[in-house]
Every structure is written in structure tokens, then in C-alpha cells.
Amino acid sequence: MSLKGKVAVVTGATSGIGSATAEAMAAQGAELFIVCRSADKGKALLDAIRQKTGNSDLHMIVADLSVQADVRRAAEEFLNTGKPLHLLINNAGVIYTERKLTADGLEETFAVNHLAYFLFTELLRERIVESAPARIVSVSSGAHAFCKEIYFDDLNFEKRPYKTFEVYGHSKLANILWTRELARQLEGTGVTANCVHPGAVRSGLGKSNGLLGKVMTALVAPFFQSPEKGASTSIYLATSPEVEGVSGKYFAKCKPLEPKPWAKDDAAAKKLWDVSRELVGLD
């Protein structure tokens, strides 16, 4: 599908499925904005994409998505271009072996994997609706199976033991619940919102956990799929005519997949929305 005349924003684009997704958007002719933490890595990626695709309509926004002030600045930087926004791919993510707090005093996995998606999308929402038809695609995970509820009484994991996969799964459950509520709110606007399970992918996720994280990542890499295969569902949801008008769904391998029952709790989704607004200062 040609994306000529379309504008796409991809977060977390400098490694793994993010870079593969960004390259695919550019290859199909989109004007591409990447949001990344490292200017050097961002420049290297855009140079590589330009060389591979011949698309020179490429831009970079540098932001640390764990910091809400940076999320706000990144959104403002895009809005100041005056450009429409047809495709928003929320892809940035982290996983840690021990608890970390952001500059805003929030547990970092939840802050990056959920609250950054929430805040960035809300700040861009009016522009996206003005640009309809448009699509929002957010990377979740089958890891939502590791956590059966949103811990509204302990979002910072101060009371519970810090278990890596439970904490990560908690943030990915939040992605699915948020997407359901976002899709509900966007009904009738021409904007769809869906989320994906990319599968087990060779990526940079987890490499920030020191030597142990790097070793474990290297050991499991041969058993994981390539970033290109991992990105295929995000690309499908962003570009395929087959999913025109489809919203509020969870996809894997380019097909709808039923998430766990606790990821379909609309009351929890609404409560998460309200709590998220408060945590990012939108109330």
C-alpha cells in the first residue's frame, strides 16, 4: 500500500521492531518522524533508511519518553510543524530487572510503556482526528498474561515484590485496556486504535540491564524472530486496507487475537484512563 501523502510518527524507532517499522513506513512513501532518545542513533537510522528507500522526507524528534516534560516537548515539536498525522505507532518500551523511578517519581516500566503512550497520544489526538482517516497502533505483548489486574493501589510497585515479567506484563495489560477505551472514545471520528503482540523478537529490549541483561539477550536471540517479522503486525495495522475501520482490537501475526479475559474489563479500562490522566497532569 502506498503511503505517499501520509505522515507517520514512530516512537522507539532506533532498534528492533521500531527501526523495521520506521523503515517500512518510509519505503511505502510516508513522510516519517521518529521519536528517539539518542540523536546519534536517530541520525544513523535516518541515514540508513534514506539510503535503503530513497525517501528523504525524514525527521527526528529527540526525547526521553520516561520524562513527561520530554513527552510534552516532543508532541509540541511535532504539532509546531503544522503537519497532519495519519499514522501514530507507539512502539517505545523498556523492561528492567530491578525497580527504577523516573524523574517524575514513577515506576519507569509503567511510565514508559503505558503513560508515555497515553500522554503522547492525548497531546496529538486533536491533530490525528483532524487528519482522519488515521490510525493509532500501539505495541503491547502476550506478557499481559503475567498480570491479571491493574494494581491501582500500587502502580509504583512499592508494596509488591519487583518481579520483572509481572511488572512488564502489568504495563502491557495497561496498553490493551487503554486501547479499548481509546477506541471507544474515537468511535465515529475516522480514527482507529489497535494494539499488537509482536511475538518474541531479537531487539534491544532488556539490554539496559547491565551485563546480565546483555548476556541473556544474546543467549535467547537465536530462538527469537527477526525484527522485520516482529514488526509485520504493526505495519499491517498501519497500512492494510483489510483493517480499515477495525478498532479496539488486539492482533498477533496479522490476525485478531482474543486477549486474556482481564484485558477486556471495560470498567478497569475506564478507571485506568482516569488515573492516567491524573498521573500525567491532564486533569
- For the cut 90, the answer to whether the pLDDT of residue 16 exceeds it is no
Q: Of 256, 223, 259, which is closest to residue 242 (Cα–Cα)?
A: 256
Question: Is residue 217 pLDDT above 90, yes or no?
Answer: no
- Reduced to 3 states, what is the DSSP secondary structure of residue 67? coil
Catalytic residue chosen out of the listed positions 117, 168, 236, 250: 168
Cβ neighbours around 244 below 10 Å, total:
9
Q: At what angle do helices 39-53 and 16-27 cross, to 10 degrees?
A: 40
pTM: 0.91
Is 96 catalytic? The answer is no
pLDDT exceeds cutoff 90 at 56: yes
Whether 37 and 5 have beta carbons less than 8 Å apart is answered as: no
> Mind listing the pLDDT tens digit for each residue in 173-192?
999 999 999 999 999 999 99
List, for residues 70-90, the tens digit of each pLDDT value. Answer: 999 999 999 999 999 999 999
Count helices and strands (H / E) in the chain: 9, 8
Q: What share of the chain has pLDDT > 90, as a percent?
A: 86
Calpha distance 271→282 (Å, rounded): 15
